[in-house]
Every structure is written in structure tokens, then in C-alpha cells.
Chain A
Amino acid sequence: MSTFPADLRFTHDHEWVRPQSQTWRVGITQFAVDQLGDITLVELPKEGDEVTKGQRFGTIESVKSVSDLYAPVSGKVVAVNAQLKDSPEDVNGEPYGKGWMVDLEPNDSGELEELMTADAYSKHVAAQ
């Protein structure tokens, strides 16, 4: 069974969330990266955009396929990882580090508790 960083929370769609002081940093998990293969293009919202929980807010193109990113919470985009425009491979190399995607200011930070822990996410992945 794969292991995932214990300080993160996870969605069923294979995104991770790292709670920071006011915001949540969002990226995709190692499991998602392994499934996608080499990533060639990441389309993200703009700073200031509002996103809605469960709605598509970005796109990831890998060599073989295209997949959507879904917002883990409703809120406002306060930062976007602009490096990914030129270096989408950072998502493959460091999905929890340099490969982060956006910082969101959640409307309700209490929703963090609704996301899976690393243990629960490991079980979710193992069942796939």
C-alpha cells in the first residue's frame, strides 16, 4: 500500500490540500502522477478567480491523456504556481513541493475535516 504525507488532506479525485495560515495549498498526489505519466501542460485559474467545491477549475494534460482538476473547497484563488507554465514536469518530480498548483482562500476552513487523512486516502487508493 502506498503511503502519503501525514500532514496533508486528500480528495477522492487525488488532490492534496496543505493547510497554511490563511490558505490551502492544493496539488495532485503521487498516485495521480503515477497514473498520468509525464505531464506536459497544466491549465490553472487566475489569481482572484472564485472556485466552487467539486467543480472543474483546471486541466492537466499528460502525454497520454487529459484530466480535470476539481476544487477541494469553495473559495478564492490567491496564488497560482506560475512556474508550471514552463516546467509542468515539476508536478512529476515533486508533486507535494515544487509541483503545487494553487493557493485557495476557503470560504469555510472547517471543511478541511471533510477531507481524507493520509491513512484514509491510502485505503481509497488501494481500493482503486
Chain B
Amino acid sequence: MTTTVRRTPLWDAHRQLGAKLIDFGGWDMPVSYPAGTIKEHKAVREALGLFDVSHMGECFLRGPGARAAAGKLATNAVESAPVGKAVYTLLCRPSGGVVDDCIFYKKSDDEFFVVVNASNTAKDLEWFREHGASSTCDVVDVSDQTALIAVQGPKAVGVVDALADGMLADLPSFSFAETPVAGVACLCARTGYTGEDGFELACSPADAPELWAALMEAATPLGGLPIGLGARDTLRLESKLPLYGNDLDDDHTPLEAGLGWAVKLDREFLGAPALRAQKERGLARQLVGFKLDETQRAIARHGYAVKDAGEVVGTVTSGGPGICVGGAIGLAYVPSRLAAPGTQLRIDCRGKDATATVVSGKFYKRAKS
């Protein structure tokens, strides 16, 4: 068997921009551009950034049974959302463990567009086919027919709206509209993975280079930069957005991950009984945000142990520098008795015990405009 590293329709553009490309889940993706991760991160916080996220998976649930299928698969109430809304949800196993996190876009009761994590595309499609598909609901994989560009940052809305003849500025958060951007037919969603305002634009792969070029041309004079996966990770961490494979997995439930707001237990869906029971029992462990104490010259990274009285009691799931908030930040699963904000944690940073403090909420919150 030969493994081929896949390329998005924007691969040539990344090369021309001087991107450093890495194998990310079988895709040859930009991890950074010549500006580097720190400058890219700051550009998104201060101006705007463009992300090629075409590696993500997309599918449709279509047919008279689509509404019921969506409701069965999703922990959040995607089925009863108004048409035109984008809803963040988890997909859970009967055990309550997480298959993936994703966004359902409700086009009608008969049609939902779903965007899933790149690394989980094959698994999710199989999950949808096994638990969602029926004689009245087709599961249609359109991953290869869909390119996805995220435009994020305080100046993102202005840039995209100007290229869309003013059709998008008033679109509410977590809503979507189908309208051309720079002459390219797009599904435009007011969503993102950075903690900033902005859009995610889905279009055909053939049109993606043209759309990317138009966005780059408009963004560059405003301080906009193309953004690699490195800054995508530091941005989402600062905004405390979970990453599947790090902070979410089969072994932890959405309730433990602090995503109870995306779990509507007054409905029946895969995993609902287990999650109701867990809620009833109370949580034994929780995902918390932490900041290493100022004096610690270290970064606590994915996989490092959280210790209490010499025993390993938890694990860091994500960690890195807080590029805009300062210091070293991270997420960790800890016993609930250590989860209250202000609690001191000890984290084994490569043999050195570093002290950290549990912090509540997002590390970074954008100013409301």
C-alpha cells in the first residue's frame, strides 16, 4: 500500500507564500508561513487572518428523515434550530464518550450540512451511515467537493462583507447564508475557531484559489496574514476551544469537558442515557483551564501529568504559550475536588514540578464590538 499525502486546492498558494508544510493527518498543510506562529496569532487578534481548512470533512444529511437522524446523532438540539442556524454539537457513543465535535448547519428540516474534524472524517462518515442513514435519510460525503476558508479577526467581517456586496455584515453569530464572495458561490457562516469574529466560507475546490487570492488582496493592506496550523492551535487554546484528540476523546464525556451547554438532555440521542446518569451522579473529573505560575519557566504540554500529594491524578490535554494573554496556559483533566478556580495544581514538566492555578472561563476574551 502506498500512502499519498493529500493536498488542498490551495496547496500551490501556500507554496508560493513560502509556507512550511507538514503532514497533518495525511494532509500536506501549512503549519506556519514566513511571518511565524507568533506574528500570525497576533495578526488574527489585531487585524485578520486567512486559514485554509479545506482538509476538514463535510457531508449532508438529506431526506425526509434528516431531521430525526440529526436529532439522534447530535447532543445539541440541531434538529429544532431555525433554518439558517449553525449549531455546535458533539457526537457521542452510547457510553457518552465523544466521537467528534462538529457543526450542523440547518438548511431545512430535510437537509443538514455538517462540517467535521479532518482527522475524524472517515470515522464520522461511517458513524453517520451506521446511525443516521435510512431509507428516508441519505448521508452524502462532499468532503472532496468542498473547500473551506476561514477569515477571522476584528477586521474579518469588513473584508468579507465588502467582497459580498454588503450581504454579510448583519448575519448573526452562528448563522449562515449562501451568497457570492468575490464572485464565488459560497456558504458563509459566522463561525470560527479562534475566539474572534469572522466567517468560514465553503466553496467548490475549483473556485477556492480565486477566493483565496481575492481575500488575500483585500486583507494584506489591513495587516492580514495567512495563518498556519500552529497559530490555529494557539488561538483556539487561548479561547479555550477544545481540540478533538487532545481535550475530547472516546474516554471523556462532553459534561466532563465542560461542554454541557452543547448537550440538551431533554431529548433522546446517542449517549443521552449515559450522560443523564453521569449528570445525576456528579462528575468525578473535569477539564479545567490552568495558568502556570509566573515564576515557572516552563510550558506544560499535552500528556504531562498532574500530581497531588505525589500521585498522578490527572493529565494535561493541551498546553502552550499564551501569546496574547502571556505566560503558559493549558487544559487538563483533574479530579473535581481540584477543579475550582484558584486551586493550585502541580504539573510534572519533564521531571520538574511546576505550580499552576486553575482559572475559570476563557484565557482570552475579545472586546465586544
Q: How far is the CA of A23 from the CA of B237 in the complex (A)?
A: 43
Contact call A61/B32, Cβ cutoff below 8 A: no
Contact call B299/A61, Cβ cutoff below 8 A: yes
Which size class do B's interface residues fall under? 10 to 19
A-chain residues with CB within 8 Å of residue B20 when the two chains form the complex? 34, 37
**Which chain A residues in 10-64 approach chain B with CB under 8 Å?**
34, 37-38, 40-41, 43, 59, 61, 63-64
| B320 adjacent to chain A (CB < 8 Å) | yes
Which size class do A's interface residues fall under? 10 to 19
B-chain residues with CB within 8 Å of residue A92 when the two chains form the complex? 36
Contact call B350/A63, Cβ cutoff below 8 A: no
A-chain residues with CB within 8 Å of residue B230 when the two chains form the complex? 37-38, 63-64
Contact call B234/A63, Cβ cutoff below 8 A: yes
Q: How far is the CA of A74 from the CA of B257 in the complex (A)?
A: 48
* Distance to closest chain A CB from B49 (angstroms): 15
Known: A37-B31, A37-B230, A40-B321. A63 touches B297 (CB 8 A): no
Contact call B297/A43, Cβ cutoff below 8 A: yes
| B262 adjacent to chain A (CB < 8 Å) | no
Known: A37-B32, A40-B321. A63 touches B37 (CB 8 A): yes
Q: Give the contacting residue for B37; candidates A34, A37, A41, A66; CB below 8 A.
A: A37
Nearest chain B residue, comparing its CB with the CB of A56: B350
A-chain residues with CB within 8 Å of residue B233 when the two chains form the complex? 64
| B298 adjacent to chain A (CB < 8 Å) | yes
B-chain residues with CB within 8 Å of residue A40 when the two chains form the complex? 38, 299, 321
B-chain residues with CB within 8 Å of residue A63 when the two chains form the complex? 37-38, 230, 234, 320-321, 323
Contact with A along B9-27 (1 / 0, CB 8 A): 0000000000010000000
| B301 adjacent to chain A (CB < 8 Å) | yes
* Distance to closest chain A CB from B311 (angstroms): 24
Contact with B along A75-90 (1 / 0, CB 8 A): 0000000000000010
Contact call A66/B301, Cβ cutoff below 8 A: yes
Contact call A38/B301, Cβ cutoff below 8 A: no
B-chain residues with CB within 8 Å of residue A66 when the two chains form the complex? 299, 301, 350
Q: How far is the CA of A71 from the CA of B233 in the complex (A)?
A: 32
Contact call B320/A41, Cβ cutoff below 8 A: no
Q: How far is the CA of A29 from the CA of B350 in the complex (A)?
A: 24
A-chain residues with CB within 8 Å of residue B32 when the two chains form the complex? 37-38
Nearest chain A residue, comparing its CB with the CB of B234: A63
Nearest chain A residue, comparing its CB with the CB of B350: A66
A-chain residues with CB within 8 Å of residue B297 when the two chains form the complex? 41, 43
Q: How far is the CA of A38 from the CA of B39 in the complex (A)?
A: 9
Contact with A along B221-260 (1 / 0, CB 8 A): 0000000001001100000000000000000000000000
**Which chain B residues in 343-360 approach chain A with CB under 8 Å?**
350
A-chain residues with CB within 8 Å of residue B234 when the two chains form the complex? 63
Provide a sorted-by-A list of 22 A–B residue pairs whose CB atoms are within 8 angstroms. A34-B20, A37-B20, A37-B31, A37-B37, A37-B230, A38-B36, A38-B37, A40-B38, A41-B321, A43-B298, A63-B38, A63-B234, A63-B320, A63-B321, A64-B31, A64-B37, A64-B230, A64-B233, A65-B301, A66-B299, A66-B301, A89-B38
4 nearest CB pairs, A to B = A40-B321, A38-B38, A63-B37, A38-B36
> B-contacting residues of A (Cβ < 8 Å)?
34, 37-38, 40-41, 43, 59, 61, 63-66, 89, 92
